[in-house]
Amino acid sequence: MDKKSEKIVVLNEKKKGRINKNVADNPLCEGFEYTKLTRDVNGFSLNFEHLKNYGEKNRYAISVLRKIKNKTYIYNYFVKNEELSKFFKCYFDGKIEGEIIEVEKLDPENLA
């Protein structure tokens, strides 16, 4: 969707009163777009401890593309939430070589 179409959709949503009031408008930080949530999808205040516990159970599949002796490989690293910083430090320090092509959040096990 181009920028003009996005603006039209936003204007139409405003007219219809469907703007999500739980999202604060903070478009950039250090050059990255983001949204700041103030409430959950049901309109309730966010529970810090609940979300922290949820986050601790998350795992990520990080796919790294490598070319070795004219052969192409994808290395999939499975990283626990608390080890993300360690993984990225290894990556940026050059201990893990290649190009990150995907980061996928895996659902926590036994989430009911």
Per-residue pLDDT reduced to its tens digit, 68-85 = 999 999 999 999 999 999
Nearest Cα neighbor of 38 from 53, 51, 28 is: 51
Lowest mean pLDDT among 48-52, 66-70, 104-108: 104-108
Q: Considering only CA atoms, give the Rg of the chain.
A: 19
Q: Which domain covers residue 44, as residue numbers?
A: 22-55
Cα 62–Cα 107–Cα 33 angle in degrees, nearest 5: 60
CB 40 within 8 A of CB 51: no
- Structurally, the chain folds into a number of domains equal to 2
65 and 102: one domain?
yes
| Chain centre distance of CA 54 | 15
Phi and psi angles of residue 35, each rounded to the nearest 5 degrees, phi first: -125, 150
The structure's pTM equals: 0.66
40 and 78: one domain?
no
Residue 87 scores a pLDDT above 50: yes
Residue 7 scores a pLDDT above 70: no
Residue 37 scores a pLDDT above 50: yes
Nearest Cα neighbor of 58 from 81, 77, 79 is: 81
How far apart, in whole angstroms, are the C-alpha atoms of residue 81 and residue 83? 5
How far apart, in whole angstroms, are the C-alpha atoms of residue 44 and residue 35? 17
92 and 103: one domain?
yes
